[in-house]
C-alpha cells in the first residue's frame, strides 16, 4: 500500500471520529448528540484532507456541520425538545438491533479485510494542488464535463427539497 498519511494524525482523527460517534449515539439529550455529531463531522473533514480532498473537507464543514447540524439545532430549539418527557432512551428492539448490527459489523469488516487483496493497486495519481479546479473540470468542463447533467438534477432536487420542507412545515391555515 502506498503511504497516504502520517499515522499519528490518522489515528488521532479516526479515534475522535469514532469515539464522538459513539457518544452521539448514546446520549440522552439530542443537543448533546448534535454537538457530538459536529465533532465527528469535523474529524471526518480532517480525514478528508488527508485523502487529498480539500474541497470535500470544506464542503463537509460548511454544509454538514455549519448547515445541517445548525439547522438541527434550530429545529430542536423551536420544538422545545428538551422539555419533552423521555421515559426511555432505547426502544424495545435495542438488544436485537445491537446484535444484528454487531454481526453486520463483523461481516463488513471481514469482507473488507478478506477482499481487500482483490482490489487493484493505485490506478490514478491525484494531485493535491488543483483539486478544486479538477472537480470543476469534471462538473462543468467542456471536455470531461461528465457530471453536468447530474449537477442540474441536483439543483432541481434541492429546489424540490426546499419546496417540500416549506410545505411540510408550514402551518395549516
**Binding-site member from 105, 140, 148, 152 for another protein (CB under 8 A):** 105
Q: Examine residue 128 and tell whether it contacts another protein (CB under 8 A).
A: no
Diameter of the chain measured on Cα atoms: 62
Nearer of residues 119 and 173 to another protein, judged by Cβ = 119
CA angle (25, 95, 28) in 5-degree steps: 30
Burial of residue 139 (number of CB atoms within 10 Å: 0-12, 13-18, 19+) = middle
**According to CB under 8 A, which residues from 17 to 36 bind another protein?**
17-18, 21-22, 24-25, 30, 33-34
Q: Is 3 in the site for another protein (CB under 8 A)?
A: yes
- How many angstroms separate the CA atoms of 134 and 132, rounded? 5
Decide: is 145 part of the binding site for another protein (CB under 8 A). no
Give the interface size with another protein as a residue count (CB under 8 A). 98
162 binds another protein, rule: CB under 8 A: yes
Q: Using the rule CB under 8 A, is 14 a contact of another protein?
A: yes
Is there binding between residue 109 and another protein (CB under 8 A)?
yes
How many whole angstroms separate alpha carbon 65 and alpha carbon 2? Answer: 31
Give the DSSP H or E segment for 149. helix 148-169
Q: Does residue 173 bind another protein (CB under 8 A)?
A: no
Amino acid at each position: 500500500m502506498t503511504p497516504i498519511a502520517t499515522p499519528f494524525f490518522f489515528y488521532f482523527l479516526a479515534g475522535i471520529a469514532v469515539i464522538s460517534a459513539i457518544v452521539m449515539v448514546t446520549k440522552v439529550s439530542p443537543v448533546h448528540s448534535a454537538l457530538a455529531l459536529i465533532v465527528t463531522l469535523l474529524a471526518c473533514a480532517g480525514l478528508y484532507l488527508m485523502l487529498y480532498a480539500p474541497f470535500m473537507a470544506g464542503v463537509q464543514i460548511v454544509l454538514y456541520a455549519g448547515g445541517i447540524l445548525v439547522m438541527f439545532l434550530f429545529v430542536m430549539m423551536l420544538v422545545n425538545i428538551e422539555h419533552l418527557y423521555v421515559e426511555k432512551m432505547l426502544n424495545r428492539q435495542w438488544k436485537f438491533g445491537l446484535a444484528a448490527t454487531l454481526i453486520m459489523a463483523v461481516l463488513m469488516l471481514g469482507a473488507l479485510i478478506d477482499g481487500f487483496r482483490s482490489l487493484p493497486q493505485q490506478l490514478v495519481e491525484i494531485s493535491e494542488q488543483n483539486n478544486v479546479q479538477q472537480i470543476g473540470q469534471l462538473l462543468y468542463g467542456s471536455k470531461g464535463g461528465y457530471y453536468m447533467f447530474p449537477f442540474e438534477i441536483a439543483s432541481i432536487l434541492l429546489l424540490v427539497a426546499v419546496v417540500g420542507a416549506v410545505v411540510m412545515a408550514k402551518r395549516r391555515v
